Chain A
Amino acid sequence: MPDPRHFTTRRGFIAGLGFGAVSLYGAWAAYGAAPLPFGHTPSATPEPEAHGHGGSNGDSHGGHAAAAAPTADDFRLEHETFLRTYAQTDGSVDPHAASHGGARSHGHAHGASQGAPHGGHADEGHDDDGSATEPVTVFLMAQKFAYSPDLLRLKAGQAYRFRMMADDITHGASIQLGAASRIIRLRPNIISEQTITFTKPGEYLVYCTVYCGQAHDAMQGRIIIV
């Protein structure tokens, strides 16, 4: 027997309406954001990290990062070395500058990691088209209420592997890029990694976006891109 109701007042139609917003999937798919969204995936995830931190531990990345990944203390050491190697007289840090220790970076991360526990990135980026695509490793540590380094000098068009960690408690290390920002959240003792290429020269604000105490608003740094 025919339902005397108009279809807009029938049960099935009403239940279907509940799923209306699921159709936003279409917009996501159009931007390649479904079904495989990519955020930044830091090195502490249990996922295998193809290029994460090669070197000596390369074979143990099968899924259990805990044993193989560099520890927070490794990070602190590498970060120290990075600062010592590339600190400039004006207080900035420039991974492209001749280091005080005499080593050059060759546009690689090697210099930064020299002497650090897990060595260089030997097996990485064999595509041979020079330093422009070879990411340079940069370290950024957040702590109450400052960044270290708090002034980085980098180059446009160059990829940088930002290795970041909060030293004490949770912080942000977000980068203001003009029309919007790149929001980054750092948990204490968990190493986050993102490969970032700045495409436009300029001076960019680095600021804390996770409440961390009294001087939270004062927590800022700068990245100068030339």
Chain B
Amino acid sequence: MDTIPHDAPIMAGSGLTARIRTLPRPDKALLNLLFGAALLALVLGLADGLLTALARAGALTFFPDDAYRLLTVHGVSVFFYWLYLIQAALLLALAAAENSRGLALRPAAWAGAALMLAGFAVSEWISYTGTPLLYDGSPELAVDDPRSVGFFALGYLLLSAGLTASAVSGIATLLQPRRRGEAEEFGAVGFALFAWAGFLIVSAIAATNAFLPGLLWSLGAGPFPADHGTEWHILFHNLHYLPLMATVLVWYVLTRHLTGVTSIHGARLSKIVFAAYLVFVPPTSLYHMFLEPNLSEGVRVVGSLLSLFVSVPTLAAFAIIVSSLEASARAHGATGVFGWIRGLPWGNPAMANMGWAVVNMMVGLTFAFVLIQGELAPMLSDTFFVPGYFHLFAVGVLTQTFLAALMVLLPALNGGHLWRPALLARMPALVTAGLLLFAAAGIAAGTMGVPRRVFDVGYGGMAPAAWPVLMALVGIGASLFAAALSVSVYGVVRTLLSGRKLSAMELPAVDWKAGQNRIGAAPAWTGPASIAALVAAMYVFTIAAFQLIQSLPVAVIGGGHGH
């Protein structure tokens, strides 16, 4: 049998859960509040996401304004409040666990939570009742309704202020052991948390840069923010990296929790990789703007090249985790090329969510790299290709990873137990299946030109006949992953609410920790093989896209720049 010889499963419950369990009461209350609010945002967003998908599939019909309002609430709830509330909560929880004495600057943390919740309330209210602005809140959509623009901006500004306050508390918490002279330096996770907290503050600056002008304009205190598009792109780009960095960080934490494995390459390399996230953020930010008519050619050229580097930190972190796992498994006797993977504690829902998140990431990255090529942008940008592929990230990678973290942290926090782990462990595969259908149909639809953010794609009979068919498939995929994801979310919410009725039930985990001298003698091909497969897939789809764009019955020269 090409797997690990019956390693006695040990109880998870290592350092992490023990330290969460012993957090001071007020910290636990704060974390429960933030986790609960994040889950509420997710639930609201999921409901509206499903309605949006059904409307796009033609299964439901809304008045246009209502449909766009649903889309607005969906984007605002999940992309902003779910992702940022959960990130603030995870930052605080993990920082407090690192510190092992709870949060420092607790008032800042509470103020942060209050601000974020106020932002949440304002944003939800204006999204449900105002002019639908979608999640980017472009002021030009409501020139005659400054009130909507102003409140919309206010919501995000409150969120940013709250994130900053939370990040400051997180940073102070992380520094406490050093200030007390108990620690000389961070571990890999501590350093990652520190850098990530700094990045949260930068994103708050970006959000202020993008949304303060709108607020001022609505108050009659500033000019119309005509440049919102560009400022939004800067923020939006940060918002791609932030949750991804958080995801990788959670993978580190969960890998250790579920398998006992830490990087076999030393903390230093991990720190460099986490710093690399930040180094690569600004230089790779231009690819969102390829369709902008006022982007200069030079910037477009450089932007396309630099964006090739966008995945470096993520793939490096992936390689670190996978090689560490594989080498540790082999040190414990695992055999077969990929057999060691079966030895992972898949019966643990946290493991299942994390494992399938990695699969989603590989598929998502493939298509992300089709999209970053500046010459393909005139075929793919602004189409359903974009939501088609990014849900692999938004749902498959980020949401599943953060749910995995909750599945570990909530029982530790409240002493309850995880709701029906055997059932929850099955959901990620279903979510992934639904997402793959959604993405395949959505990417095909987008490639054919189906626009994003359009509910009726009939165009008076002029649209290709395939369009509605593909969108129906998108709806089926969405229903499948929405259903499965709802089960996961329900399980987590039940866990949050279950209190301490039962003592924590131990879930499967393994202990692959191995001595440094035993490790790494055998080859570990899973990482390189996955990355080779990823690159091959990127080649296939990039080449297919080039072939397609060249086969179109037009020849186009941009503004006299033929070359």
Contacts and interface: CB of A to CB of B under 8 A. Distances in A.
A121 B381 CA distance: 32
Nearest to A50: B560
Interface string B436-466: 0000000000011101111111011011100
Contact of B523 (A9, A46, A196): A9
Interface in A103-148: none
B439 to A, nearest CB: 18
A213 B141 contact: yes
B301 A178 contact: no
Contacts of A190: 293-294
B535 A17 contact: no
Interface string A182-211: 111111101111111111101101011111
A213 B144 CA distance: 12
Given A6-B524, A14-B323, A205-B463, A45 B378 contact: no
A209 B315 contact: no
A211 B387 CA distance: 14
Contacts of A15: 269, 316
Nearest to B517: A4
Given A39-B290, A216-B454, A24 B551 contact: no
A187 B276 CA distance: 34
Interface in A1-20: 4-11, 13-15, 17-20
Interface string B522-556: 11110110011011001100110010110111111
A43 B326 CA distance: 55
Given A180-B548, A183-B379, A38 B312 contact: no
B92 interface: no
Contacts of B522: 6
A22 B141 CA distance: 38
Contact of A194 (B290, B320, B523, B558): B558
A169 to B, nearest CB: 4
B375 A39 contact: yes
Given A11-B266, A179-B448, A21 B297 contact: no
A58 interface: no
A95 interface: no
Contacts of B304: 28, 33-34, 37
B291 A185 contact: yes
A81 interface: no
Contacts of A205: 459, 462-463
Interface residues of A, number: 90
Given A9-B264, A211-B68, A21 B377 contact: no
A39 B527 CA distance: 35
A180 B449 contact: yes
B559 A52 contact: yes
Nearest to B561: A41
Contacts, number: 302
B427 to A, nearest CB: 29
Contacts of A176: 449, 462-464
A5 B520 contact: yes
A187 B291 CA distance: 10
B352 to A, nearest CB: 25
A158 to B, nearest CB: 11
A146 to B, nearest CB: 13
A203 to B, nearest CB: 7
Contacts of B293: 40, 42, 44-45, 185-187, 190-192
A99 interface: no
A174 B549 CA distance: 14
A217 B456 contact: yes
B524 A38 contact: no
Interface in B266-302: 266, 269, 273, 276, 290-298, 300-301
A177 interface: yes
Nearest to A18: B316
Contacts of A170: 138, 140, 229
Contacts of B273: 18
A45 B294 contact: yes
B243 interface: no
Interface in A43-60: 43-47, 49-52
B149 to A, nearest CB: 13
B65 interface: yes
A76 interface: no
Contacts of A35: 301, 305
A4 B459 contact: no
Contacts of B378: 39-40, 182-184
B377 to A, nearest CB: 6
Contacts of A202: 553
B561 A27 contact: no
Contact of B382 (A22, A185, A187, A203): A185
Contacts of A24: 308, 369, 535, 538-539, 542
B297 A11 contact: no
| Of B138, B381, B523, B557, most A-chain CB atoms within 10 Å | B557
Given A11-B265, A11-B266, A174 B539 contact: no
B519 interface: yes
A12 to B, nearest CB: 10
Contacts of B326: 9
Contacts of B269: 11, 14-15
Given A8-B528, A15-B316, A211-B134, A33 B375 contact: yes
**Which 3 pairs between the two chains have the least Cβ-Cβ distance?**
A18-B316, A181-B449, A40-B558
Interface of B: 64-65, 68, 134, 138, 140-141, 143, 226, 229, 264-266, 269, 273, 276, 290-298, 300-301, 304-305, 308-309, 311-313, 315-317, 319-320, 323, 326-327, 365, 369, 373-375, 377-383, 447-449, 451-457, 459-460, 462-464, 517, 519-525, 527-528, 531-532, 534-535, 538-539, 542-543, 546, 548-549, 551-563
Given A40-B559, A191-B293, 6 more contacts: A13-B528, A42-B558, A50-B560, A185-B293, A194-B556, A195-B557
